[in-house]
């Protein structure tokens, strides 16, 4: 799994490609009744229109604020990519951050300066989380 997909997974965004797209169980109609149908006349389980477990929008700000409030450490995910990764239980070592930055196409000149890389990475992660369906506070984008 890519490092960024691990972040999305920890935030509850997206789905595991090895799992079915929907976690809703097919409905069983009482004997003698017809199953519910969509506008196209097909049963919902046939059309694939059921909502996946992760199909709802994730409020990333609220989720991370909640994790920070319950953390024994004082972590500021809003300004620090290290703290963001720690909150999610992801390795925040320099080596791991460099791998993530490389995966997200960080400019080479920033990779050699950890402070610049961290600032770039923090913004890039939040932008990509938002592009993947997470709701990120506008001031962080």
- The answer to whether 74 and 23 are in contact (CB under 8 A) is no
What digits encode the pLDDT tens for the residues 28-58?
Answer: 444 444 444 444 443 433 333 223 344 568 8
Q: Which pLDDT value is given to residue 23?
A: 34
Q: What sections of the chain are H helices per DSSP?
A: 3-11, 44-47, 60-69, 81-87, 94-103, 108-111, 114-131
Average model confidence (pLDDT) across the chain: 77
Lowest mean pLDDT among 45-59, 70-84, 126-140: 45-59
* Structure-token match 């972040």, residue found: 7
Q: What is the pLDDT of residue 6?
A: 93
pLDDT at 74 over 70: yes
Collapse the DSSP code of 134 into the 3-class scheme (helix H, G, I; strand E, B; otherwise coil) and give the result.
strand
Answer for the pair 102, 82: CB distance below 8 angstroms, yes or no: no
Mean pLDDT for the stretch of residues 60-68: 92
Three-class secondary structure of residue 2 per DSSP:
coil
């Amino acid at each position: 799994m890519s490092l960024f997909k691990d972040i999305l997974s920890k935030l509850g965004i997206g789905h595991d490609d090895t799992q079915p797209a929907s976690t809703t169980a097919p409905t069983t109609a009482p004997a003698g009744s017809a199953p519910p149908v969509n506008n196209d006349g097909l049963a919902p389980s046939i059309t694939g229109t059921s909502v996946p477990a992760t199909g709802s929008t994730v409020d990333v700000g609220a989720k991370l604020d909640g994790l920070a409030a319950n953390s024994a450490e004082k972590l500021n995910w809003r300004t620090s990519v290290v703290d963001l990764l720690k909150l999610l239980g992801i390795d925040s070592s320099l080596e791991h951050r460099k791998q993530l930055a490389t995966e997200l196409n960080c400019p080479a000149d920033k990779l050699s300066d950890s402070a610049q890389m961290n600032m770039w990475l923090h913004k890039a992660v939040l932008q990509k989380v938002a592009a993947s369906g997470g709701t990120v506070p506008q001031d962080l984008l």
